[in-house]
Amino acid sequence: MKITQVEAFALRFQNTKPSAQQGSDYFLPEEGWRSIYARHHETMAVRITTSDGIVGYGEGQSPVSPRTSKTVVEELCCPILIGKDPFDVEYLWQRMFTAMRERGHYTGFFIDALAGCDIALWDIIGQATAKPVHKVLGGRYRDRIPLYAGIGGSTPELAAAQASEYVSQGYGGLKIHTTRGREEILAIVAAVREQVGSQVALMVDVHTQYSVPDATLLGRGLEKLGVMWLESPTVPEDIPGQAELTRALDMSVAIGEWTRTRFELREVFERRACDITMPDIARTGLTEGKRIASLADTYNIPVTPHIGGGGILSIAATIQFSATIPNFLLMEHSPDGYALKGKITTRKPTVNDGAFVLDDTPGLGVTIDPEALAAFTID
């Protein structure tokens, strides 16, 4: 079996929610040093075809500028993959990675594109062996993948109402996304805690917007409300600051969605700069995701995979990954956007009482509709 074709698709899913901001497809929020955002769900899909006629799909997470990831696949990854045996998946990850490392491209868009190819290769291996990816990736540790649902944190009342709805659907964990001030965040979390009770796990993601002293004060307030972890509290490059914060708080500090390789995480783990690590499989690929999880396990650090702006193939790959590691904790999920992301499929995993349930469908466990994929592709 040889790889005969590698294709990449920049995808855009129009969001039906009205936007107060008009103009280009991307915008910068006015408050703080925030990331650039797309007005619609965007990502990049990879399709790899073999000489045996097996077709595998993967995703390189691209919440902005999916055309960039697409170009990397077509111009840099494709020449390396064509003619190769897809079962040489670890070799192919390493060969693609080293192709641009000396030039400084050992993270960012290049690794996102590589991740999409890697996931597609594992999808092929699963289909070729008539096994789900989690079986060929190392075997199944669990039958259910418990989820936490993300909620907005605009006001205490709205956050509490959304929290109540998700708990009624069976979610045992909730993560509040907010970039507001400390007192506002504590008021929002207090309202959610009062609404859902003490048995529901609560997490807070502040999207790197706090200094270490301010994050420490926030964390101490969140500890009193029984919050499970504080996520992305300060800027990614400040590993010493993250280590200081982790030592200062009794609650867990969770980071890592921005990291793509074990090389980036080695110092983080050695310095105990986090209590929980959050690899994003559509940024690491399944091959490197497993390596990261194994490295984390040597430091007794649990893994809670990040999804964020990932699409349906990212979700499917993360389900398979989550089944195969001993130190899995919880998986991120966005219930409101799941139907939209699934529009390119005729079969996708379903949530049952706050969890994805594993089955034995070969490959990633999703069926992509080529016509729908084409319909959401942008030039």
pLDDT-based confidence at residue 21 (cuts at 50, 70, 90): very low
Domains of the chain, by residue range, sit at 3-130, 144-365
CB 332 within 8 A of CB 307: yes
CB 234 within 8 A of CB 213: no
**CATH number corresponding to 3-130:** 3.30.390.10
Q: What is the mean pLDDT of the chain?
A: 96
Chain position carrying tokens 């280590």: 243
Question: Taking the model in full, what pTM does it have?
Answer: 0.96
Would you state the pLDDT for residue 19? 46
Query: What's the token pair of residue 307?
Result: 């999804």
- Residue 23 in this model has a pLDDT that exceeds 70: no
User: Is-same-fold flag (3-130; 144-365)?
Assistant: no
**CA dist 312 → 38, 79, 182 (Å):** 17, 26, 34
pLDDT-based confidence at residue 32 (cuts at 50, 70, 90): confident
Question: pLDDT tens across 217-274, in order?
Answer: 999 999 999 999 999 999 999 999 999 999 999 999 999 999 999 999 999 999 999 9
Rounded to whole angstroms, the Cα distance separating 197 from 166 reads: 13
pLDDT-based confidence at residue 31 (cuts at 50, 70, 90): confident
Contacts of the segment 29-35: beta carbons below 8 A, 24+ positions apart: 31/179, 32/179, 32/209, 33/209, 34/179, 34/207, 34/209, 35/207
Question: pLDDT tens across 312-343, in order?
Answer: 999 999 999 999 999 999 999 999 999 999 99
Instruction: List Cβ neighbours of 24 (8 Å cut-off, separation of 6 or more).
Output: none
Would you state the CATH architecture of domain 144-365?
Alpha-Beta Barrel (3.20)
CB 262 within 8 A of CB 291: yes
Rounded to whole angstroms, the Cα distance separating 263 from 261 reads: 5
